[in-house]
C-alpha cells in the first residue's frame, strides 16, 4: 500500500554481504570501511558542539551525565517496571475473583421461532442489506404468525444477537396466556399479548464505532415506521375484539447494553417520528460514558444525546412561555425551536435503567445512572439486587436470561399496556406507578408526609372487649404460634410523643388473597352499642408493606425465594389518626408453622446512627459501632459514596436461645436505587464483603433519590444541613429480633485488595492515556538533547533524565491540581472572569458590541468534572499520580520488549542472509560523477531523502533515476489518498504504516551493527529516533485498532459501504508521508540550532502533554489527532531544513526587501 524507498545506494551489495559475514564471525568487531562518499557526507554533516561540559566530535562522543544510565537508575527503572506489572496482575486478580456477588440467577427455557420480515426491504430503509428485522414467536403458545398485540422492539448491544430476546419474549407469552388470555375483564381493559420484534445487527461492534451506532439508530426509526404500518391490516384478520382497537402509534423499546444508547440516540435523529416511542427499558446500558472512548464520533454522540435529554427536561413552564414570546419576536429562533422540540419529544417518555451490579465485568454499572439528566418522575436507575423477588446480581449477558428478573420485566411490560389507546400503553403517570411498584423495593421512595399513601375506604368496627387489645405507649407487639388468644382480633398501637414511627416485620403473607394480617389506620369514635368500642379505620397495607428476603436458619441465602413482609410508618404520615391497628385473621392451622409478627415503635435519634467520619479516617481506622437491640435500625455513613472502594464488615452477633428470625442486613446508596440484602447473619462472627455503586467520573453529581421519611424527619432537627447532604452516603439497615437483648457489634474496614480491582476497572482508560504522555515527555527530552548536543539518546536514557528532572516537576503540578480539583466548591474555572490571574485586560481588545453570553463563557471555562480523572471523592487525589507511576513502568516494559523484538528480528534477517546469500553482481560502473556525489550530499543534508517503493530489494535491482522514483512515490501516495478518501478507513493505513516502521527499525539496527566508526553516531541517532516513533505508534495503536475491527467485521458480512467518519485524508497524511520518508536509510530529524525553532518544537510537545493530562482520559480519541499534528510539525522542520525550504525563505525575504525598497522609494 505504501511506497517504500530503496536501501542506501552507496553500499555495494557484495561488499555489504562480505562485511556482514565478517561482522558475524568476529566477536563484536567490524572491518567495514566507509566509502569516500560516505566519509565526505559524514564530515560535512557532523558538527562540534559543547553543552554542559560535554564535547562532541567525530570520534570522541559521550552523553551528558544527566542522561547516563547508572546502576541506581537501572535499579529504579526495573523496580518501577516490576511494581507496575505486579500492580496490573493484582488488579486483574482482584477484579476477577474478589468482591463479587454470587450469581443466583435461574435459567429460563423457551422454544423460539424467528420470523424474518422480508417486507422491510431497501425501499423502506437504506440499510436493508446490512441489518434484518425479525418477529419472535414462542412455539406452541403463539399460534398466529401475524402481529396482533402490542409492539415491542428489542435492540441488542455490542456484538449482541437478535436471539437474546428469547427469554423475555417466551416468559411474556406464557404469562399472558396463563393469566390474561381468557380473562374477559382484562381484555376489556386493553390487555393484549406482546409482539416482540428483534433486530439482527450481525453482532456489530457498536461500542467501538460511533458511525455504526448512528446507522443502527436510523435503521430502527425506519423499522418502527414499518412495524406500525403492519397493525392496521393484521388486526382486521385477528380476533373480533381487535377490530375496534385504534391503530398503534408507538412502540415499547427494550435495549440491552449499547442498545439502550442506540434507543436514546433515536430521539435525536431526523427520521424519528414524535410519539413513536414512549417507554424505554434498558438493561446494563452505559448511559453516562462510552465504554471505549477511542472514536471521536461516539464521544460526540454521547455528548449530543446527553445534552438533548437534559435540555428536554430542564425547561420549566415559565421558561417555555418566555421562549415562545421570544420566538414570536424572531429572536434566537434556531436554539429555541431545538429546545422546544426536545421538550415536546420527551415529555411523555419514561426511561428505566436496570443494572446488574458488580457481576457485570463488561460495563461499569456506575455508568447506568440516569439521574444526571432524567428527573425522577420520568424514570430511575435500579439494580437487580434491589428488585423485589430478584435480589441477585447478574452479569452482562445473563441479565437477559436471569429467570427471576425476566419474570418481573415480562409482568411489568404486560401491566403497562393498554390497547384501547393509540400509544398502546397506559398514561404516563400510571406507567410510572406500575414500574415503581414492580422495580423498586418500597424502602426508599416515600415522601414522609402521608400524601402518597393510598388508603382504602373507611370502615367501622364495633368491637367487644375480647375482640380488641389496646397496647400502652412504647409497648411491643409479638404474635407467634404461642399467642392463640389474639387470633381474629384487632390490636391497636397508639401514637405518642416518645417515638417517631412504628415498624413491623412478619413471616406471614399480607396480600388480599392469602393475607393473615391487615394494617389499618384508625380513630376511636363515639360508640352506639353498649359494651363495645367503635373504631373508624382505613386500610393502609398496600401502601406501606414491602417484601424483604426471609432470614432464618432454613434460609441460608437469597436463592430460597422465601420472603418476610416489612412495613414502617411515621407518626407524621399518620397525622389525623390515633392508632395503627393490626388485624389478625389467622386460622387454627396457621399456628404450627413457626410464623411471627412483630410491631415495635422506634425513635429516629435512637435507632439511626450517623457516622461523621471522613473517608481518610475510615480508610485508616475503620468503623466500630454497637447496635442496640431493636426491630429496625439504621447506620448512615455520608462519607462513603465512591464505588472504587470495597469493604469488609465483621458482624459479631451473640447467640440467643429463642429468636423468631436471624438478623437481616441491607445496604443501599443514595444516588441510585441499589440495595443488597444479607440474610442469616447470626452464626457467631461473620464477615460480609460490601461494595457500592455511586457517582462515576466525568458526570455531574445527581441529587439523591426520593428520600426516605427518616431523613425528612431528621431534617427538621438539623435545619443547618441541606437535606441532600443529610441523606447522601451509604445506608445500612439492620433487622434484629428484639427478644434478644444483646447488641450486635459491627466493624467495617476497607478491603484494599478487593478495592484494587475496582479502581483499575473504573480507571482503565488512564493507563493508555498516561502511557502516551510518558512517551511524549521522553520524546521531547530526547529531541532537546539532540538539538543541544548532536546526540540522540535512546529511550531509556531519556526516561532517566525525565525521572531526574521533568517528571518530579510534573508530579508536583499534577498532585496540586488533583487536590484543588477534589476540594474546591466551584464547578468550573471561569477564565474570562478571573481577576486574579488574567484580569480583565482582554476586554480592551474586543469591540463594545461583543456579547459576553453564556455560550462564550462556558467555552472559555474549565469544568472541573471534565479534567484529569474526573471529579470524584477528594480522598482519591493520589489516583492520577499512581496511574502515572504505573504508566512509566508499563512504557519502560514496552521499550524493553520492543527493543528485544527488533533485535531478534534483526538477528533472524542476518542469519537468513548469511545462510541464503543473494547472488550478486556488480554494476557496470561503480563510480559516480562529481555531479551525482553533490546531488547525493544535497539530498542527505537537506533531510529529503528518497526511499522508493522497492526498498526490500538490493540496490543493484533498481537502476531508475531519482526523478522516476519520485514520480512513483507521488503516484503511489495519491493512490493511497484516494483509497482512504473512498473505501479504506485511515486506521488501516495507520496499521500498515506501523508494520512498515517496524521493518524500517529492523533495517536501521542492522545498519547500525555494520556501521563504520565514522558512521556510528549517525546510525545510533537514527535508530534511537526511529525507536521513539515506534513507541508512539504502539501507544496510539489502541486508539485505531477498534475502528479497524469494525471495518473488518463489516467486510465479513459483505457490507462495503464506507464509513463517513473515518475517511479523512488529513487524519493519516502526516503519518503516511513521514513513515514513507523514514524508509530512506539516512533520513534523520534535522538538528535545529535556532532557538526559535527549538523552543517552538518544545512548546508544541508540552502543549500536547498538558492537554493529554487535562482531557486525555475523557476524550481519548483526541490524542491521536494531536500526535498527527506533531508529525506534521516534524515534516515542516524537514521541509524548512531542505533546499526547498531555504529557497522559499530566500524568496520570501527577497519579496519583503523589494516591498520595503519600493515603499521607501515612493
Q: What is the DSSP string of 1087-1129?
A: ----HHHHHHHHHHHHHHHHHHHHHTTTSTTHHHHHHHHHHHH
pLDDT surpassing 80 at residue 238: no
Region of 244 on the Ramachandran plot (φ > 0 left; ψ -120 to 50 alpha; else beta):
alpha
Calpha distance 353→72 (Å, rounded): 54
Distance between first and last Cα of the chain: 57
Given a contact cutoff of 8 angstroms between Cβ atoms, the answer to whether 444 and 673 are in contact is: yes
CA distances to 258, 556, 598, 734 from 661, rounded to whole Å, are 43, 12, 11, 12
* Highest mean pLDDT: which range of 4-13, 57-66, 1046-1055: 1046-1055
Calpha distance 1147→745 (Å, rounded): 86
pLDDT given at position 777: 97
pLDDT given at position 557: 79
Neighbouring CB atoms inside 10 A of 69's CB total 15
pLDDT surpassing 80 at residue 683: no
pLDDT given at position 36: 34
Rounded (10°) CA dihedral 961, 967, 969, 970: 160
Pick from 85-89, 106-110, 191-195, 723-727: least confident: 723-727
pLDDT given at position 956: 38
Using the structure block, give the residue that is written with the C-alpha cell 400502652.
472
Q: How confident is the model at residue 861 (pLDDT cuts 50, 70, 90)?
A: low
Calpha distance 1074→871 (Å, rounded): 39
pTM: 0.85
| Count of alpha carbons within 13 angstroms of residue 881, beta-carbon side | 16
Q: What is the pLDDT of residues 593-636, one digit of tens each?
A: 678 899 999 998 889 999 999 999 999 999 999 888 899 999 99
State how beta strands 251-256 and 150-155 pair.
parallel
Q: How confident is the model at residue 19 (pLDDT cuts 50, 70, 90)?
A: very low
Q: How confident is the model at residue 888 (pLDDT cuts 50, 70, 90)?
A: very high
Average pLDDT over residues 809-835: 77
Rounded (10°) CA dihedral 242, 245, 247, 249: -120
pLDDT given at position 63: 83
CA 895 to mean position of chain CA atoms: 29
Q: How confident is the model at residue 1052 (pLDDT cuts 50, 70, 90)?
A: confident
Given a contact cutoff of 8 angstroms between Cβ atoms, the answer to whether 1043 and 1062 are in contact is: yes
Given a contact cutoff of 8 angstroms between Cβ atoms, the answer to whether 392 and 357 are in contact is: no
CA-based nearest residue to 248, from 272, 263, 230: 230
- Cell numbers placing 938: 544535497
pLDDT given at position 924: 44
pLDDT surpassing 60 at residue 718: no
pLDDT surpassing 90 at residue 862: no
Pick from 50-59, 299-308, 706-715, 750-759: least confident: 50-59
Q: What is the pLDDT of residues 201-233, one digit of tens each?
A: 999 999 999 999 999 999 999 999 999 999 988
| Count of alpha carbons within 13 angstroms of residue 349, beta-carbon side | 24
pLDDT given at position 1059: 74
Average pLDDT over residues 544-571: 88
Average pLDDT over residues 873-881: 89
Given a contact cutoff of 8 angstroms between Cβ atoms, the answer to whether 773 and 887 are in contact is: yes
Given a contact cutoff of 8 angstroms between Cβ atoms, the answer to whether 831 and 838 are in contact is: yes
**Percent of the chain residues topping a pLDDT of 70:** 79
CB within 8 A of 355, min separation 6: which ones? Answer: 284, 365, 368, 381, 382, 383, 384, 672, 674, 693
**Percent of the chain residues topping a pLDDT of 90:** 49
Q: In 853-983, where do the E strands start and end?
A: 861-863
Calpha distance 287→284 (Å, rounded): 9
pLDDT given at position 943: 40
Beta bridge partners of 703: none
CB within 8 A of 718, min separation 6: which ones? Answer: 726
pLDDT surpassing 70 at residue 864: yes
Beta bridge partners of 862: 829
State how beta strands 730-735 and 664-669 pair.
antiparallel
pLDDT surpassing 60 at residue 834: no
Pick from 492-506, 513-527, 884-898: least confident: 513-527
- Greater confidence (1056 vs 568) lies with 568
> To the nearest 5 percent, what fractions of the chain are helix, strand and coil?
45, 15, 40
How many helical (H) and strand (E) elements, i.e. helices and strands, does the chain have?
Answer: 31, 32
pLDDT surpassing 70 at residue 7: no
Mean pLDDT of the chain: 82
pLDDT given at position 344: 82
pLDDT surpassing 60 at residue 321: no
pLDDT given at position 828: 64
User: Which residue in 257, 384, 675, 702 is the catalytic one?
Assistant: 257
DSSP, collapsed to helix, strand or coil, labels residue 690 as strand
Rounded (10°) CA dihedral 848, 854, 860, 864: 150
Q: How confident is the model at residue 1146 (pLDDT cuts 50, 70, 90)?
A: confident
Please confirm, yes or no, whether 257 is among the known catalytic residues. Answer: yes
Q: What is the pLDDT of residues 921-975, one digit of tens each?
A: 444 444 444 445 444 444 443 344 444 433 433 443 344 566 676 777 778 778 8
CA-based nearest residue to 163, from 206, 141, 132: 132
pLDDT surpassing 70 at residue 156: yes
Average pLDDT over residues 1135-1150: 81
Q: How confident is the model at residue 480 (pLDDT cuts 50, 70, 90)?
A: confident
Pick from 297-311, 333-347, 699-713, 979-993: least confident: 699-713
Calpha distance 1121→294 (Å, rounded): 11
Given a contact cutoff of 8 angstroms between Cβ atoms, the answer to whether 975 and 989 are in contact is: no
Q: How confident is the model at residue 916 (pLDDT cuts 50, 70, 90)?
A: confident
Using the structure block, give the residue that is written with the C-alpha cell 491540581.
817
Given a contact cutoff of 8 angstroms between Cβ atoms, the answer to whether 672 and 366 are in contact is: no
Q: How confident is the model at residue 1057 (pLDDT cuts 50, 70, 90)?
A: confident
Given a contact cutoff of 8 angstroms between Cβ atoms, the answer to whether 415 and 148 are in contact is: no
pLDDT given at position 29: 35
Calpha distance 597→482 (Å, rounded): 12
Given a contact cutoff of 8 angstroms between Cβ atoms, the answer to whether 138 and 165 are in contact is: no
CB within 8 A of 929, min separation 6: which ones? Answer: none
Q: What is the pLDDT of residues 21-66, one digit of tens each?
A: 443 433 333 333 233 333 333 333 333 333 333 333 444 567 888 8
Amino acid at each position: 500500500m505504501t511506497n517504500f524507498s530503496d536501501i542506501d545506494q552507496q553500499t555495494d551489495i557484495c561488499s555489504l554481504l562480505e562485511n556482514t559475514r565478517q561482522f558475524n564471525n568476529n566477536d563484536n568487531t567490524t572491518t567495514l570501511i566507509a566509502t569516500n562518499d560516505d566519509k565526505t557526507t559524514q564530515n560535512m554533516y557532523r558538527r562540534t558542539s559543547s553543552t554542559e561540559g560535554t564535547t562532541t566530535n567525530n570520534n570522541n562522543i559521550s552523553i551528558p551525565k544527566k542522561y547516563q544510565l547508572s546502576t541506581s537508575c537501572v535499579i529504579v527503572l526495573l523496580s518501577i517496571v516490576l511494581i507496575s506489572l505486579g500492580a496490573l496482575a493484582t488488579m486483574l486478580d482482584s477484579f476477577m475473583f474478589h468482591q463479587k456477588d454470587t450469581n443466583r440467577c435461574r435459567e429460563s427455557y423457551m422454544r423460539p421461532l424467528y420470523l424474518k420480515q422480508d417486507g422491510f426491504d431497501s425501499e423502506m430503509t437504506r440499510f436493508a442489506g446490512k441489518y434484518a428485522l425479525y418477529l419472535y414467536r414462542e412455539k406452541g403458545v403463539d399460534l398466529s404468525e401475524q402481529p396482533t398485540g402490542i409492539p415491542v422492539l428489542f435492540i441488542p448491544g455490542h456484538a449482541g444477537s437478535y436471539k437474546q430476546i428469547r427469554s423475555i419474549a417466551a416468559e411474556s407469552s406464557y404469562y399472558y396466556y396463563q393469566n390474561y388470555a381468557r380473562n374477559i375483564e382484562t381484555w376489556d381493559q386493553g390487555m393484549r399479548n406482546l409482539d416482540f420484534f428483534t433486530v439482527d445487527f450481525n453482532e456489530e461492534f457498536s461500542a467501538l464505532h460511533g458511525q455504526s451506532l448512528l446507522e443502527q439508530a436510523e435503521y430502527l426509526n425506519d423499522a418502527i415506521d414499518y412495524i406500525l404500518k403492519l397493525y392496521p391490516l393484521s388486526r382486521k384478520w385477528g380476533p373480533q375484539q381487535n377490530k375496534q382497537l385504534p391503530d398503534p402509534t408507538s412502540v415499547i423499546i427494550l435495549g440491552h447494553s449499547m442498545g439502550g444508547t442506540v434507543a436514546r440516540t433515536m430521539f435525536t435523529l431526523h427520521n424519528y417520528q414524535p410519539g413513536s416511542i414512549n417507554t424505554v427499558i434498558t438493561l446494563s446500558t452505559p448511559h453516562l460514558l462510552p465504554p471505549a472512548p477511542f472514536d471521536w464520533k461516539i464521544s460526540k454522540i454521547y455528548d449530543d444525546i446527553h445534552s438533548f435529554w437534559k435540555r428536554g427536561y430542564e425547561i420549566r413552564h415559565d421558561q417555555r412561555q418566555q421562549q415562545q414570546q421570544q420566538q414570536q419576536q424572531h429572536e434566537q429562533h434556531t436554539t429555541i425551536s431545538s429546545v422546544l422540540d426536545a421538550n415536546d419529544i420527551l415529555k411523555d417518555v419514561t426511561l428505566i435503567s436496570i443494572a446488574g451490579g458488580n457481576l457485570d465485568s463488561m460495563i461499569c454499572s456506575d455508568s447506568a445512572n440516569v439521574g444526571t439528566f432524567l428527573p425522577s418522575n420520568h424514570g430511575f436507575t435500579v439494580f437487580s439486587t434491589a428488585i423485589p423477588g430478584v435480589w441477585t446480581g447478574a452479569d452482562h449477558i445473563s441479565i437477559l436470561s436471569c429467570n427471576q428478573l425476566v419474570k418481573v420485566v415480562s409482568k411489568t411490560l404486560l401491566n403497562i399496556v393498554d390497547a384501547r389507546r393509540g400509544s398502546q400503553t397506559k398514561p404516563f403517570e400510571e406507567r410510572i406507578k406500575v414500574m415503581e411498584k414492580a422495580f423498586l423495593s418500597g424502602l426508599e421512595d416515600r415522601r414522609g408526609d402521608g400524601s402518597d399513601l393510598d388508603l382504602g375506604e373507611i370502615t367501622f368496627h364495633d368491637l367487644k372487649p375480647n375482640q380488641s387489645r389496646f397496647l400502652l405507649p412504647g409497648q411491643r407487639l409479638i404474635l407467634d404460634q404461642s399467642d392463640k388468644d389474639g387470633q381474629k382480633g384487632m390490636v391497636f398501637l397508639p401514637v405518642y410523643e416518645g417515638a417517631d414511627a412504628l415498624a413491623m416485620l412478619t413471616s406471614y403473607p399480607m396480600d388480599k388473597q392469602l393475607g393473615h394480617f391487615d394494617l389499618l389506620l384508625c380513630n376511636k369514635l363515639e360508640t352506639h352499642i353498649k359494651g363495645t368500642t367503635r373504631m373508624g379505620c382505613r386500610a393502609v397495607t398496600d401502601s406501606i408493606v414491602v417484601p424483604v428476603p426471609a432470614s432464618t436458619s432454613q434460609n441460608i441465602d437469597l436463592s430460597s425465594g422465601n420472603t418476610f413482609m416489612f412495613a414502617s410508618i411515621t407518626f407524621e404520615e399518620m397525622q389525623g389518626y390515633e392508632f395503627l391497628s393490626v388485624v389478625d385473621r389467622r386460622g387454627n392451622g396457621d399456628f404450627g408453622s413457626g410464623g411471627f409478627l412483630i410491631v415495635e415503635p422506634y425513635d429516629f435519634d435512637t435507632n439511626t446512627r450517623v457516622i461523621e467520619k471522613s473517608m481518610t479516617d475510615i480508610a485508616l481506622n475503620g468503623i466500630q459501632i454497637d447496635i442496640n437491640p431493636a426491630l429496625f435500625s439504621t447506620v448512615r455513613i455520608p462519607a462513603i459514596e465512591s464505588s472504587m472502594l470495597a469493604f469488609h464488615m465483621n458482624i459479631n452477633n451473640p447467640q440467643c436461645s429463642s429468636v423468631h428470625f436471624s438478623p437481616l442486613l441491607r445496604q443501599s446508596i443514595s444516588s441510585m436505587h441499589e440495595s443488597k440484602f444479607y440474610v442469616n447473619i447470626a452464626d457467631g462472627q461473620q464477615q460480609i464483603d460490601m461494595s457500592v455503586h455511586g457517582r462515576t467520573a466525568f458526570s455531574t453529581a445527581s441529587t439523591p433519590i426520593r428520600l426516605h421519611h427518616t431523613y425528612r424527619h431528621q431534617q427538621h432537627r438539623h435545619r443547618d444541613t441541606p437535606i441532600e447532604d443529610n441523606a447522601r452516603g451509604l445506608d445500612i439497615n439492620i433487622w434484629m429480633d428484639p427478644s434478644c437483648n444483646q447488641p450486635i457489634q459491627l466493624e467495617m474496614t476497607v478491603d484494599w485488595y478487593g478495592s484494587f480491582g475496582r479502581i483499575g476497572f473504573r480507571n482503565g482508560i488512564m493507563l493508555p492515556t498516561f502511557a502516551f504522555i510518558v512517551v511524549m515527555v521522553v520524546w521531547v527530552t530526547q529531541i532537546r538533547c539532540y538539538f543541544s548536543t548532536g546526540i540522540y539518546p535512546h529511550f531509556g536514557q531519556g526516561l532517566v533524565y525525565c525521572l531526574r528532572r521533568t517528571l518530579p516537576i510534573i508530579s508536583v503540578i499534577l498532585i496540586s491540581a488533583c487536590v484543588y480539583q477534589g476540594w474546591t466548591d466551584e464547578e468550573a474555572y471561569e477564565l474570562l472572569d478571573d481577576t486574579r490571574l488574567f484580569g480583565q485586560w482582554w476586554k480592551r481588545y474586543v469591540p463594545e458590541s461583543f456579547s459576553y453570553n453564556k455560550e462564550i463563557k462556558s467555552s472559555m471555562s474549565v469544568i472541573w468534572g471534565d479534567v484529569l480523572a474526573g471529579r470524584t471523592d477528594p480522598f482519591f487525589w493520589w489516583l492520577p499520580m499512581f496511574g502515572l507511576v504505573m504508566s512509566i513502568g508499563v512504557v519502560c516494559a514496552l521499550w524493553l520488549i520492543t527493543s528485544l523484538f527488533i533485535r531478534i528480528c534483526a538477528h533472524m534477517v542476518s542469519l537468513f542472509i548469511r545462510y541464503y546469500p543473494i547472488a550478486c553482481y556488480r554494476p557496470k560502473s561503480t563510480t559516480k560523477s562529481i555531479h551525482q556525489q553533490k546531488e547525493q550530499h544535497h539530498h542527505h543534508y537537506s533531510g529529503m531523502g528518497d526511499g522508493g517503493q522497492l526498498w526490500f530489494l538490493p540496490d543493484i535491482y533498481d537502476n531508475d533515476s531519482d526523478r522516476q522514483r519520485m514520480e512513483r512515490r507521488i503516484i503511489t501516495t495519491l493512490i493511497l489518498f484516494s483509497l482512504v478518501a473512498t473505501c479504506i478507513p485511515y486506521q488501516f493505513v495507520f496499521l500498515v504504516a506501523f508494520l512498515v516502521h517496524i521493518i524500517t527499525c529492523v533495517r536501521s539496527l542492522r545498519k547500525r551493527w555494520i556501521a563504520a566508526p565514522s558512521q556510528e553516531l549517525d546510525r545510533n541517532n537514527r535508530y534511537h529516533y526511529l525507536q521513539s516513533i515506534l513507541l508512539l505508534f504502539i501507544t496510539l495503536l489502541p486508539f485505531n485498532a477498534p475502528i479497524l475491527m469494525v471495518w473488518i467485521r463489516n467486510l465479513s458480512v459483505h457490507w462495503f459501504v464506507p464509513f463517513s467518519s473515518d475517511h479523512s485524508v488529513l487524519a493519516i497524511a502526516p503519518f503516511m508521508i513521514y513513515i514513507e520518508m523514514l524508509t530512506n536509510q539516512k533520513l534523520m530529524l534535522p538538528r535545529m540550532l535556532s532557538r526559535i525553532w527549538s523552543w517552538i518544537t518544545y512548546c508544541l510537545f508540552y502543549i500536547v502533554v498538558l492537554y493529554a493530562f487535562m482531557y486525555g482520559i475523557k476524550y481519548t480519541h483526541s490524542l491521536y489527532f494531536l500526535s498527527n499534528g506533531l508529525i506534521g510539525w516534524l515534516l515542516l522542520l524537514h521541509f524548512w531544513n531542505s533546499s526547498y525550504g531555504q529557497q522559499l525563505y530566500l524568496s520570501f525575504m527577497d519579496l519583503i526587501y523589494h516591498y520595503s525598497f519600493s515603499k521607501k522609494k515612493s
